[in-house]
Amino acid sequence: MLREIRKTETKQLRAYLDSRNTDISSDVLLKVNEIIRDVKENGDDALRRYTKDFDGVELSSFRVSQKDIDNAASQCKKEFVTAMEKAAHNIIAFHERQKMNSYLMEKKDGVYMGERVIPLAVVGIYVPGGRAQYPSSVLMNALPAKIAGVDRIVMVTPPAKDGTIRPEIALAAKLAGVDEIYTVGGAQAIAALAFGTQSIPKVDKITGPGNIYVAAAKKLVYGICDIDMIAGPSEILVIADEGANPSYVAADLLSQAEHDPMASAIFLTVDRSLLDAVNIELDKQLAKLPKQEIASASIRDYGTAIVCDTVEECIDFANAIAPEHLELMVREPMAKLNRVRNAGSVFLGYYTCESVGDYFGGTNHVLPTGGTARFSSALGVDAFLKRSCYLHYSETALQNDGEHIMVLAEEEDLAGHAQAVRVRMK
């Protein structure tokens, strides 16, 4: 059952927001920092040791050959291949619209300036192994990078127990145009991407989900290279009016609750009877859910409901929470969309469950968590681009503007800046 709080109890709402804190413990950071130092100093030798210790696999080489990728991908079921191909098509179509263009602007007296949009050269993508296998995340990370024009996409993923790559991951990498795959995982894989080893190239940016050790490693190498984000537990917030089906609402809340005991499922509604029906449905559906234990803990500890007077009031609360996934399960949802300010991704109407976006619709499922949707965005093509400005001044233009430039430089007590202009003045 969802824990209901009154909309006037702001202290409880604030306590909920604070409970989503996902700070990484100092013990984890210390352990990961040691792994990073070891990989930085000892390269592939360190990777072999950690792969044996953590994955129980001894590898002489981490690079997966094209033959092995093809063989693994060929093991996938036909229906899975078809679904992944269609999903890739939708993801490409959506992200193609995100392309940014360089520009040039000209002014009088020989002044022109502009901005160049340049793809990153090398990008690393982390793909989890073990119980958490997400071939869909390969598409969501690699396809935007490919569309951006990244020269070299490098994927790292833990090896299976026999040292091979998992078939579904291999297929996803082929569809997404990944250039190289290495069977190494954990914090050591992040360190390898950040600093480079004898076999794994140093990258400009690392993206992709992982466990707490992967998250800690990404946090520690940020600045050596860029990262996408430090992702916390998954979140969903459903806003529903009296026309919503309670079984739909319950199913969508559970779709995130099954991820993690710390995942949060929030329900805002204008109809108290709908809340009662949703709670009944949650009990029914939880009893049949394979990951019942995980989902039950999530609903018990982080499931929350608020009854509001209007849908607009629901959206205002949602903006304060800034959820990763926001469903507007209301009539005429497009009419309400402009009121939404803070959400990683928004799903409109009674039939657009968050699962559609997770796998197939085309929008990206790598989204800001922990309230960071207040200031950050979904992963997209722009994440794999950088911008470089340029400026040209003619002699005439410098004569016209030089005095103003020197005034500003001298006001900041930077005489050298002023002198660089002065020596060019007539």
Q: Beta-carbon neighbour count of residue 412 at 10 Å? A: 9
Residues 6+ apart with CB under 8 A from 259: 233, 234, 294, 298
Radius of gyration of the chain (CA): 25
Calculate the alpha carbon distances from 72 to 58, 173, 175 in Å: 19, 11, 13
Give catalytic residues, as residue numbers.
324-325
Question: Hey, what long-range contacts does 404-412 have (CB within 8 A, 24 or more apart)?
Answer: none
Torsion 75-76-78-82 (CA) sign: negative
Query: CA–CA separation, 46 vs 410, rounded Å?
Result: 53
SS3 sequence of the chain = CCEECCCCCHHHHHHHHHHCCCCCCHHHHHHHHHHHHHHHHHCHHHHHHHHHHHHCCCCCCCECCHHHHHHHHCCCCHHHHHHHHHHHHHHHHHHHCCCCCCEEEECCCCCEEEEEEEECCEEEEECCCCCCCCHHHHHHHHHHHHHHCCCEEEEECCCCCCCCCCHHHHHHHHHHCCCEEECCCHHHHHHHHHHCCCCCCCCCEEECCCCHHHHHHHHHHECCEEECCCCCCCEEEEEECCCCCHHHHHHHHHHHHCCCCCCEEEEEECCHHHHHHHHHHHHHHHHHCCCHHHHHHHHHHHCEEEECCCHHHHHHHHHHHCCCEEEEECCCCHHHHCCCCCCCEEEECCCCCHHHHHHCCCCCCCCCCCCHHHCCCCCCHHHHEEEEEEEECCHHHHHHHHHHHHHHHHHCCCHHHHHHHHCCCC
